[in-house]
Structure 1
Amino acid sequence: MSLSKLLSRQNDILVMPGVYDALTAKIAEQVGFEAIFQTGYGTSASLLALPDFGFLSITETVENARRITRAVDIPLIVDVDTGYGNPLTVSKLVNDLQRIGASGIFLEDQVWPKRCGHMMGKEVIDSQEYIQKLRSAIDAKKQNSDFIIVARTDAMAPLGIEEAIKRGKLYREIGADVVFVEAPRSLEDMKKIADQIDGPLVANMIEEGMTPNLTSAELLELGYKIALFPLSGLYSSAFAIFETFKTLKETGTTKTLKDKMMKFKEFNKLVSLDKYMTMENKYV
């Protein structure tokens, strides 16, 4: 089902896990998620082992999206940070992502180099400067209703909630399909955002982040349309790998961790080994 159809369902919220490579995307699809989000934080961490601090390039983001869309058949929204330049760069980026089969973008109004939305020290560009990028993205989707533009504002931390809501309303009026006010600090702020912005909204659930961590049902009740869990997979996999490698270093074996690992046959099934062995035999 297309992303636009998923978002059009009444009295429903779209829960989207963050993925950072083809394998995590494949896992998300196999456990039953209907759409996924390519996290910039996770992409920077997995590709570069660097924080979400403006290190990613447009090429790295697009190539990661290309690998993910080849691996799965569910819609992918891509975190494109600030668009990596001016409105012309944003236009090219949206066209490139459409060609490889992505279903949407998150475009934010931070100053470049940006930083994770839950870090301190954020700055935002003038709203009129952002609007030119947003209009470029909307024009580049060429009336493709299945490609979703999520306008994200990080104005809340540096400029306050009123400015963040003002920008959210403005970005929606310009033509954003979905609005994302990043990092509200309280339930009251989340309610205020949902009450005042007329349109589909994103809630960003980061474990131990600035925003209260709510369930998808609670977010739906507040009036949000997308419940984003961008870093759950990244943090879980990093924890598991760290513990496994630490045990191996300290004990010289991983036997004690066997029950916490996916089995050889299970992993082969995950990556469709039988399918390719059948193909191989066909051409012998």
Structure 2
Amino acid sequence: MSMKKKERMTTKLRRLLAENDYLVAPCAYDALSARAIEVAGFQVCGTTGYGMHGVVLAQPDSGLLALNESVDILSKMADAVDIPIICDAEGGYGNALNVIRTVKEYEKTGVAGFFIEDQQQPPNCPFLSKTEVISVDEMCGKIQAAVDTRKDPDLLIIARTDAPDEEAVDRANAYLDAGADMVKILPKSREALVSLPEKVHGPIHLGYFPNQPFFKDFTTEDCGKKLGYKIITFPFSVLFAQVAAELRILNYIREHGTPEGYDGDMIDFETYIKLVHVDELVEAGNRYIKK
């Protein structure tokens, strides 16, 4: 196991942002999915609060995953990879005072950046009731608290707004003025997707949602190089693909009483143990375990 000190991921992320027109960051929800994103060749990893709620609580993004639970997951993810991680900090888990603690705890995990959203706290599950946003002033206070709290100036602070249309643009610009390094907006139409980068006076983080009609025929290059989005994440793609694969193999075993003959994708044992770095454990064992 290499004992070499990791490069500071915050600085690496800032460098990658400066060197590239845009970055693509599929979203992970645990250490193994983060490792898979790294092995697939991506330079940056996102995270999905929706997916973390799913794998820990088997729930949608209900806001019930606690700060300490998220910190535990993120710490393991950061330890598992050597690429920067940009994560979901929900609404800062409360008011501006909660944001202070959130930033302190998130910074300890080794993540390279995070976004805070302007939903009312405690957050609601959008499938149960309509999302409500806090005032611009309250959100700006949260952003200022986050900026003042971070010890590493390279830690990327992104402000997300769930407001619609032109209100989202106004809020995004106000959040940039308050000190956010980047903003995240959820476009509600193809027109908004195309026009937002021209209306916001700073870099934008875009979540690419599968099966949304207004994303049809748009690639990451279209969104990044042509439209001008700086970071493009895929919040659901890895999660949904994994669950589909799990259900398919489980249904096959239930129907046939054996996995033999299953024609779906399945990683072989040798590839898997390579993915989870068994060689590092063997090396460490040979070096340190004395008999």
Q: TM-score scaled by structure 1?
A: 0.92
Cα contact 1:20–1:39 (8 A) shared by 2 = yes
Alignment of 1:218-237 (within 5 A): 218-220=222-224, 221-237=226-242
State the secondary structure of the residue aligned to 1:55. coil
Cα contact 1:105–1:150 (8 A) shared by 2 = yes
Query: 1:97-121: CA deviations, max 9, x gaps?
Result: 1122111111000112335779971
Matched residue, 1:212: 215
Displacement over 3 Å in runs of 4+: 115-120
Residue ranges of structure 2 left out of the alignment (5+ in a row): 1-10
Q: Give the superposition deviation at 1:186.
A: 2.1
Cα contact 1:19–1:42 (8 A) shared by 2 = yes
2: CA distance between counterparts of 1:108 and 1:232?
Answer: 21
The one-letter code matched in structure 2 to 1:193 is: L
Q: Does 1:39 align with 2:48?
A: yes
Q: Give the superposition deviation at 1:211.
A: 5.2
Once the two structures are overlaid, the 10-residue window that deviates more, 254-263 or 266-275, is 254-263
2: CA distance between counterparts of 1:267 and 1:173?
Answer: 46
Compared CA separation, residues 136 and 86, structure 1 to 2 (3 A): same
State the secondary structure of the residue aligned to 2:141. helix
1: CA distance between counterparts of 2:128 and 2:215?
Answer: 15
2: CA distance between counterparts of 1:268 and 1:83?
Answer: 37
1: CA distance between counterparts of 2:178 and 2:268?
Answer: 50
Matched residue, 1:134: 143
Query: 1:64-102: CA deviations, max 9, x gaps?
Result: 101101111111111011011111211111111112211
Q: Does 1:108 align with 2:113?
A: no
State the secondary structure of the residue aligned to 2:261. helix
Q: Does 1:155 align with 2:163?
A: yes
Compared CA separation, residues 116 and 233, structure 1 to 2 (3 A): farther
Q: Does 1:279 align with 2:287?
A: no
2: CA distance between counterparts of 1:48 and 1:209?
Answer: 26
1: CA distance between counterparts of 2:148 and 2:178?
Answer: 11
State the secondary structure of the residue aligned to 1:122. coil
Once the two structures are overlaid, the 10-residue window that deviates more, 21-30 or 92-101, is 92-101
Q: Give the superposition deviation at 1:278.
A: 2.9
Q: Give the superposition deviation at 1:258.
A: 6.0
Instruction: Give the length in aligned residue pairs.
Output: 277
Q: CA RMSD in A?
A: 1.8
Cα contact 1:165–1:197 (8 A) shared by 2 = yes
Q: Give the superposition deviation at 1:281.
A: 3.0
1: CA distance between counterparts of 2:156 and 2:111?
Answer: 10
Q: Give the superposition deviation at 1:178.
A: 0.6
Matched residue, 2:72: 63
Q: Does 1:19 align with 2:28?
A: yes
2: CA distance between counterparts of 1:278 and 1:259?
Answer: 34
Matched residue, 1:2: 12
Q: 1:30 aligns with which of 30, 39, 44?
A: 39
Q: Give the superposition deviation at 1:256.
A: 1.9
Kindly, what percent of the aligned residue pairs are identical? 36
Matched residue, 1:240: 245
2: CA distance between counterparts of 1:195 and 1:155?
Answer: 18
2: CA distance between counterparts of 1:6 and 1:253?
Answer: 46
